[in-house]
Amino acid sequence: QITLKESGPTLVKPTQTLTLTCTFSGFSLSTSGVGVGWIRQPPGKALEWLALIYWNDDKRYSPSLKSRLTITKDTSKNQVVLTMTNMDPVDTATYYCAHTTDYGDYGFDYWGQGTLVTVSS
Protein backbone atom coordinates (compact mmCIF):
# COMPACT_ATOMS: atom_id res chain seq x y z
CA GLN A 1 0.00 0.00 0.00
CA ILE A 2 1.53 3.28 -1.13
CA THR A 3 1.12 6.30 1.11
CA LEU A 4 2.68 9.76 1.13
CA LYS A 5 2.48 12.52 3.69
CA GLU A 6 3.67 16.09 3.53
CA SER A 7 5.05 17.92 6.52
CA GLY A 8 6.46 21.36 7.18
CA PRO A 9 5.54 24.78 8.51
CA THR A 10 2.00 26.04 8.11
CA LEU A 11 3.07 29.68 8.25
CA VAL A 12 6.14 31.35 6.78
CA LYS A 13 7.07 34.99 6.49
CA PRO A 14 7.75 36.74 3.19
CA THR A 15 11.36 36.30 1.97
CA GLN A 16 11.83 33.21 4.13
CA THR A 17 12.74 29.78 2.77
CA LEU A 18 10.13 27.02 2.87
CA THR A 19 11.22 23.45 3.50
CA LEU A 20 8.69 20.68 2.95
CA THR A 21 9.22 16.99 3.53
CA CYS A 22 7.36 14.18 1.84
CA THR A 23 7.58 10.94 3.81
CA PHE A 24 6.38 7.90 1.94
CA SER A 25 5.91 4.17 2.33
CA GLY A 26 5.00 1.25 0.14
CA PHE A 27 7.62 1.91 -2.54
CA SER A 28 11.31 2.63 -2.89
CA LEU A 29 12.86 5.61 -4.62
CA SER A 30 15.69 3.35 -5.67
CA THR A 31 13.40 1.36 -7.98
CA SER A 32 13.90 2.06 -11.66
CA GLY A 33 11.39 4.52 -13.13
CA VAL A 34 9.94 5.69 -9.82
CA GLY A 35 9.62 9.38 -9.06
CA VAL A 36 8.12 11.75 -6.52
CA GLY A 37 6.74 15.10 -7.56
CA TRP A 38 5.46 18.24 -5.87
CA ILE A 39 2.31 20.00 -6.98
CA ARG A 40 0.67 22.99 -5.34
CA GLN A 41 -2.79 24.54 -5.39
CA PRO A 42 -3.54 28.10 -4.24
CA PRO A 43 -6.89 28.41 -2.48
CA GLY A 44 -9.68 28.15 -5.04
CA LYS A 45 -7.25 27.86 -7.92
CA ALA A 46 -5.80 25.24 -10.24
CA LEU A 47 -3.06 22.70 -9.72
CA GLU A 48 0.49 23.76 -10.56
CA TRP A 49 3.34 21.30 -10.98
CA LEU A 50 6.56 22.36 -9.23
CA ALA A 51 9.26 19.71 -9.29
CA LEU A 52 9.99 16.02 -9.73
CA ILE A 53 12.84 13.74 -8.72
CA TYR A 54 13.41 10.28 -10.14
CA TRP A 55 15.02 7.15 -8.72
CA ASN A 56 18.29 7.96 -10.51
CA ASP A 57 18.42 11.49 -9.03
CA ASP A 58 17.25 13.06 -12.30
CA LYS A 59 15.53 16.29 -11.28
CA ARG A 60 13.02 18.42 -13.16
CA TYR A 61 11.70 21.84 -12.23
CA SER A 62 8.99 24.20 -13.36
CA PRO A 63 10.83 26.74 -15.52
CA SER A 64 8.99 29.66 -13.93
CA LEU A 65 10.12 28.64 -10.42
CA LYS A 66 13.38 26.86 -11.15
CA SER A 67 15.59 29.53 -9.59
CA ARG A 68 13.76 29.18 -6.27
CA LEU A 69 13.32 25.41 -6.03
CA THR A 70 15.52 22.55 -4.90
CA ILE A 71 14.35 18.95 -4.68
CA THR A 72 16.36 16.21 -2.98
CA LYS A 73 15.78 12.67 -1.84
CA ASP A 74 16.92 10.51 1.04
CA THR A 75 16.31 6.96 -0.06
CA SER A 76 17.25 5.47 3.30
CA LYS A 77 14.64 7.59 5.07
CA ASN A 78 12.00 7.29 2.32
CA GLN A 79 11.80 11.06 2.11
CA VAL A 80 11.81 13.75 -0.54
CA VAL A 81 12.49 17.34 0.45
CA LEU A 82 11.45 20.46 -1.45
CA THR A 83 12.88 23.85 -0.62
CA MET A 84 11.51 27.09 -2.02
CA THR A 85 13.36 30.31 -1.39
CA ASN A 86 12.15 33.88 -1.14
CA MET A 87 8.57 33.04 -0.26
CA ASP A 88 5.84 35.52 -1.19
CA PRO A 89 2.15 35.75 -0.27
CA VAL A 90 1.29 34.49 -3.77
CA ASP A 91 2.98 31.21 -2.79
CA THR A 92 0.20 30.56 -0.29
CA ALA A 93 -1.15 27.18 -1.32
CA THR A 94 -1.74 23.57 -0.43
CA TYR A 95 1.38 21.66 -1.35
CA TYR A 96 1.04 18.02 -2.41
CA CYS A 97 3.64 15.35 -3.04
CA ALA A 98 2.76 12.51 -5.37
CA HIS A 99 4.20 9.22 -6.64
CA THR A 100 4.80 8.37 -10.25
CA THR A 101 6.30 5.40 -11.99
CA ASP A 102 7.62 4.37 -15.37
CA TYR A 103 9.13 7.84 -15.74
CA GLY A 104 5.74 9.44 -15.40
CA ASP A 105 3.91 7.37 -17.96
CA TYR A 106 1.30 6.33 -15.43
CA GLY A 107 0.77 9.85 -14.14
CA PHE A 108 0.72 10.78 -10.48
CA ASP A 109 -1.11 7.75 -9.18
CA TYR A 110 -0.79 8.30 -5.43
CA TRP A 111 -1.02 11.63 -3.64
CA GLY A 112 -0.44 12.85 -0.14
CA GLN A 113 -3.20 14.64 1.72
CA GLY A 114 -1.51 17.98 1.17
CA THR A 115 -0.28 20.64 3.56
CA LEU A 116 -1.50 24.23 3.56
CA VAL A 117 1.27 26.79 3.69
CA THR A 118 0.37 30.41 4.34
CA VAL A 119 2.83 33.18 3.58
CA SER A 120 2.18 36.21 5.71
CA SER A 121 4.04 38.62 7.91
Partner 1 sequence: QSVLTQPPSASGTPGQRVTISCSGSSSNIGSNYVYWYQQLPGTAPKLLIYRNNQRPSGVPDRFSGSKSGTSASLAISGLRSEDEADYYCAAWDDSLPWVFGGGTKLTVL
The binder of partner 1 chosen from 78, 83, 111, 118 (CB under 8 A): 111
Q: By three-state DSSP, how is residue 103 classified?
A: helix
> Residue 29 corresponds to which amino acid?
L
The binder of partner 1 chosen from 14, 26, 89, 107 (CB under 8 A): 107
35 lies in the site for partner 1, by CB under 8 A: no
Question: How many chain residues are in contact with partner 1, going by CB under 8 A?
Answer: 22
- Whichever of 15 and 57 has its CB closer to partner 1, that residue is 57
The DSSP call for residue 28 is -
The binder of partner 1 chosen from 8, 21, 60, 118 (CB under 8 A): 60
Instruction: Please name the residues in contact with 108: beta carbons below 8 A apart, sequence gap of 6 or more.
Output: 37, 39, 98, 99, 100
Q: By three-state DSSP, how is residue 31 classified?
A: coil
Positions in the binding site for partner 1 (CB under 8 A): 37, 39, 46-49, 52, 60-63, 96, 104-109, 111-114
